[in-house]
Chains A and B, each alone.
Chain A
Amino acid sequence: MIAEKGLWNRLRTRLLFTGPTLFAFITVMMIPFFYGIYLTFTNWDGIAITHSLVGFQNYVAVFKDEAFWKSFYLTLKYVFFTVVLINAVAFLLAYALMNKLRGQTLFRAGFFLPNLVGGIVLGFIWQFIFSNVLVYIGQKGSIPWLSASWLADPDKAFWSLVLVTVWQYAGYMMVIYIAGLMNVPKDILEASSIDGASRWTQLRKMVLPLMVPSFIVCVFLSLQRGFMVYDVNLSLTKGGPFKSTEMVSMHVYGKAFLSRDYGVGQAEALVLFLLVATITLLQVYFSKKMEVEA
């Protein structure tokens, strides 16, 4: 324990070491968070200097806002498919890349590439591919399901968004799974092969259980990113056609900054926060129970 002599010296050291971080943290995170809770009880329109308290009126409006619940349901559906697919693809890629393999670094680098580029740019790239390149291939090769833009069809637009998200994040999660696979002790696998365990048995009975910590991290990350998706959504589909791909984050943005319904928008953001917090905490709690020691 290192401690200075005298109250003044101790206070000065504390301020020096924790002051800048805590000041920024409190003024940027904490105050807006609690002020946001207060805003949900007001009728502030974004312009007026004054606003008055309206009780739970905004929360009633949230429950009546059908577009919000529609985007909410869409987001749940989107999160479910992206979390499953991202992690399946990522784990398979990581598992395939475990053995020493020619070009291993190149594969890792290539699969990781989309994560270096921002969501806005990725969305624009794929918008061009979906509405020009694939349509061109479809028309030249007479492939009916490609000859019209996927982004113009509500159902296909949803799956386009899922596809781009999986493509975007699979490489990132792959890197985390590779780190996890490298931590699986080699000796227990060797011992089990001597005892006659097949690859499949090894994977099921040893590798997967020992990989639970990596799965917790990756599912947690993909859940959070899925619920918060905004920039790919904006640049790929703009929520269209007919709001069929408007995810909840985009809806909240529109409610607050375009319709100037700040109180309702903030109430919706808090409902979203509570849901995400509950789901991620439950996920971490239940998957922690599955962890085993090697």
Chain B
Amino acid sequence: MVGSKSTSPWIKVSVLSACLVLFIFPFAIVLMNSFKENRAITSGPLSLPETLSFDNYIDAFGKMNYVAAFSNSFIITVCSVLLISVFAAMTAHYFVRNNNQLNQYTFMIMVASMIIPFQAIMIPLVKIYGSIGMLDSKWALIYMYIGFGSSLAVFIYHGFVKSIPAELEEAAMMDGCTRIQSFFRIVLPVLMPTTVTIAILNVLWIWNDFLLPSLVLIAPDERTLPLSTFYFYGTYSVDYGPLMAGLVLTILPVIVVYMFAQKYIIQGVMQGSIK
């Protein structure tokens, strides 16, 4: 076994527990203070709330336009991730099965493009899409996420498609499947574990992304959750109670999903890194 058996496990567990407390402490502080009045927060940020008052939450819920922000984030994340997964799987599959020079070069360009940081593209992106009037809509944002996210997804799928025997598809096509049918009925289900990995990496990125939505979405009711948190914090920066509640409201959906899908999320990050 890797690791040490000689040191007492108790010492290790207590050191790790101390680390865990440090990691969780910031979240606990925010949660605790979200139930308090502004005065109680500034005079004693470490003390427990005296009563369980949800006033801050009601306040933040309305001022953040939470329902709209949440559904914008939800629609953008779900649509982007679904489209990236399906389109990238099709492209990677095509590249592997039609391994000619043109496809090899295209694949290489896509892989190489992963080193380009978003900051090198954002100014021309805003200029081009602004001049054709394609800014300020979540559909434009989804379209951009497909463009930015497809390279990594094609790269990861490419490695997996190679391990699927082509005979599977050939057999399906002998039985009368068209190529597209054999892709959706045979290949895509086999690729499912990879799709989960890609979906997790993309959800983590797109759900929390700030810079791209802040450049693309201008109208307040198009805002995503991170954007809405940002403007909310900027506007009410002295009233800590609602601010803390706002932060909790932003974090809450993520924690709920994490509790159910923890195993997959950790595995997805592990697998995404090995490729």
Interface residues of chain A, those whose CB is within 8 Å of chain B, are: 1-4, 13-14, 16-18, 20-22, 24-25, 27-33, 35-36, 39, 44, 46, 93, 95-99, 101-103, 105-121, 124-126, 128-129, 132-133, 136-137, 167, 171-172, 175-176, 178-179, 181, 184, 186, 189, 199, 202, 207, 214, 217-218, 221, 224, 227-228, 230-231, 234-235, 249, 252-253, 256-257, 262, 265-266, 269-270, 272-273, 276-277, 280-281
Contact = CB atoms under 8 A, between A and B. Distances in A.
B121 A29 contact: yes
B30 A14 contact: no
26 contacts: A3-B98, A21-B88, A28-B146, A29-B151, A30-B109, A30-B113, A31-B124, A33-B121, A96-B12, A99-B4, A101-B12, A111-B20, A112-B269, A113-B258, A121-B208, A124-B229, A133-B45, A133-B46, A178-B270, A228-B117, A230-B211, A234-B210, A249-B119, A265-B123, A270-B120, A273-B120
A124 B233 contact: yes
Contact of A17 (B1, B94, B144): B94
A231 B233 CA distance: 14
B2 A33 contact: no
A193 to B, nearest CB: 9
A99 B1 CA distance: 7
Given A28-B144, A128-B240, A266 B123 contact: yes
A36 B121 contact: yes
Q: Please indicate which of the listed interface residues A20, A21, A35 has the most CB atoms of chain B within 10 Å of its own CB.
A: A21
A176 B147 contact: no
B94 A14 contact: yes
B204 to A, nearest CB: 7
A44 B128 CA distance: 13
A30 B106 CA distance: 12
Contacts of A109: 258, 262, 266
B143 A125 contact: no
Contacts of A25: 110, 113, 147, 150-151
B123 A126 contact: no
Contacts of A175: 266, 269-270, 273
From DSSP, what is the main secondary structure of chain B's interface residues? helix
B2 A27 contact: no
Nearest to B271: A179
Interface in B99-124: 106, 109-110, 113, 115-124
B65 interface: no
Given A35-B128, A36-B120, A269-B123, A118 B15 contact: no
B104 to A, nearest CB: 13
A246 to B, nearest CB: 14
Given A18-B91, A20-B146, A235 B233 contact: yes
B3 A33 contact: no
Nearest to B153: A21
A128 B244 contact: yes
Contacts of B45: 128, 132-133, 136
Contacts of A124: 229, 233, 243, 247
Q: Please indicate which of the listed interface residues A4, A17, A35, A218 has the most CB atoms of chain B within 10 Å of its own CB.
A: A17
B208 A118 contact: yes
B48 interface: no
Contacts of A117: 208, 250-251, 254
Identify the 7 closest CB pairs spanning chains A and B, nearest first.
A28-B147, A118-B208, A17-B94, A24-B147, A179-B270, A36-B124, A273-B120
Nearest to B118: A228
B192 interface: no
